[in-house]
Amino acid sequence: MMRYLWAILSLVIAAVVQGNLPGWMTIMGAKPDLVLVVLIIYALAADPDFGAVVGFIAGFIHGSEVGLNLGSFIVTRTITGFLAGLVHRRLFSENPIVPMFAAVWLTLVCEGMFLLANPLPDFAHALRTLFGECICNAVFALFFYYFLRHLDIRRKIRMANARL
C-alpha cells in the first residue's frame, strides 16, 4: 500500500513541476513529460500489475491537468505502465542505461498511441516534437532513477541499522 502512496505522491509532484517548467526548457519544441518519466521509473522497478495501476493513475492525473482527452491519457499511460512492468521482468538491471533507453522507447510507444487516437494536422512537427520529448525524458529518467536508487539504499541502510 505504501508503494502506491509514494508513487501517487511522486506523480502529483511531477505534474505540478511539469506545469511550472520554464519556457526555455525545451528540446526541439518539446518539454519533458515528467509524469510519464515518473510512471516509467516506478513501473520499471515493479511488476506489470503495479505498472498498469500506476499508469492508470498517471493518465488520470495528466489528463486532468491538461483538461482534454482524459480517456486517451488513461489508456496510453496504463498500457505504458504495463509494458514497463514487463521490461522489469525481462531485462531490468542496475545499469542506468536501461532506464534511459526504456524511457525513450516507452515514450515513443505512449506518445505514438496518443497520436493515433488524437491525430495532429502537422505530422512532421508532431514527430519532431516526439523526438525532442524522447531525449528530454531519457535525461530526466536517468536523474530520477539515481534519486530513487539513493532513497532505496538509504532505506536499506536504516533497516539494517535497526536490526543491530
Which residue carries 535525461 as its cell? 139
So what's the pLDDT on residue 4? 86
Enclosing H/E stretch for 141? helix 123-163
Report the CATH fold assignment for 2-163. Answer: Arp2/3 complex 21 kDa subunit ARPC3 (1.10.1760)
Enclosing H/E stretch for 17? helix 2-19
So what's the pLDDT on residue 31? 84
Report whether pLDDT(149) > 70. Answer: yes
> In a 3-state reduction of DSSP, which class is residue 85?
helix
Q: How many CB atoms lie within 10 A of CB 98?
A: 17
Number of residues in the chain? 164
Report whether pLDDT(18) > 60. Answer: yes
Q: How many CB atoms lie within 10 A of CB 127?
A: 15
Contacts of 22 (CB under 8 A, 6+ apart): none
CA proximity to 112, closest of 148, 80, 142: 80
pLDDT digits (tens, 9 = 90+) for 86-118: 876 556 556 778 888 888 999 999 998 998 888
* pLDDT range class, residue 3, cuts 50, 70, 90: confident
Mean pLDDT of 13-35: 85
Q: Is the pTM of this model over 0.95?
A: no
For the chain, give every domain's residue range. Answer: 2-163
The residue ranking higher by pLDDT, 162 or 92, is: 162
| Helices assigned H by DSSP within 67-117 | 70-91, 97-117
